[in-house]
Amino acid sequence: IRALVSDVSHSADIVLLDLMADDAGSYARHKAAQDARTWAAAAGVTLETGLMQLGRAIPRDQN
């Protein structure tokens, strides 16, 4: 999960850097890249929390 979040954030960072280098970059592309980073981080936290809750819900004595 962390690797996926990192990959999405890294890709969004590249888009943001490209837009900063290109004065004609559109605001919509910039906003989409920022949103991708935000959603990736939020999804990562949600998934990790859910997996921890599932881990606690499963009885330890069952194999």
Q: What is the pLDDT of residues 3-35, one digit of tens each?
A: 877 888 888 888 777 777 666 557 777 788 889
In the prediction, which pLDDT does 23 show? 61
DSSP structure class, residue 58: S
The pLDDT value recorded for residue 62 is 61
Rounded to whole angstroms, the Cα distance separating 39 from 20 reads 21
What pLDDT, on a 0 to 100 scale, did the predictor assign at position 42? 92
Angle between helices 27-57 and 2-21 (to 10 degrees): 170
